């Protein structure tokens, strides 16, 4: 079982997608995202394998939940700085975590 202290170490924050573009150098289909995670964290990049359910233009302005305290990960020629969260559907395609209402960028999951 996970302790509460261990859970609190995972820093989950809300960010708004500002840019989304194709990522042809990724091994699996993915998009490169630029996210606004608020004044404390700022702008961060992420590679997200969400191409099945989403088009880049439809992602702009969408708020997502991100893990912001994983180490950056080199993916091809791109440095992914945060992990955008989602769950797999029945076919294994990622569906983004959704918020019920808009909140300020950088808000922390509590």
- CA–CA distance from 102 to each of 14, 15, 31, 37, 80 (Å)? 9, 10, 23, 13, 24
Residue 26 lies in a domain: yes
44-80 per-position pLDDT tens digit: 999 999 999 999 999 999 999 999 999 999 998 999 9
Residue 37, domain extent: 4-95
pLDDT of residue 110: 87
pLDDT for the residue numbered 78: 95
- Asked whether residue 102 is domain-assigned, the answer is no
- Total count of domains within the chain: 1
Q: What is the residue-wise DSSP string for 37-103?
A: -HHHH-EEEEEE--TTT--HHHHTT-EEEEE-SSPPEEETTEEE-SEE-EEE-TTS-EEE---SS--
**pLDDT for position 45:** 98
Taking the model in full, what pTM does it have? 0.94
State residue 92's pLDDT score.
Answer: 96
Report yes or no on 78 lying in a domain: yes
pLDDT tens across 6-39, in order? 999 999 999 999 999 999 988 899 999 999 999 9
């Amino acid at each position: 079982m996970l302790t509460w202290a261990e859970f609190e170490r995972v820093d989950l924050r809300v960010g708004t997608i500002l840019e989304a573009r194709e990522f042809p150098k990724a091994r699996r289909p993915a998009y490169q995202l630029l996210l606004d995670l608020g004044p404390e964290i700022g702008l961060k990049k992420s590679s997200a394998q969400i191409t099945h359910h989403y088009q880049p233009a439809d992602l702009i302005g969408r708020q997502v939940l991100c893990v912001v305290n994983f180490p950056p990960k080199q993916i091809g020629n791109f440095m992914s700085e945060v992990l955008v969260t989602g769950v797999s559907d029945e076919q294994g395609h990622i569906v983004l975590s959704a918020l019920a209402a808009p909140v300020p960028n950088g808000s922390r999951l509590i």
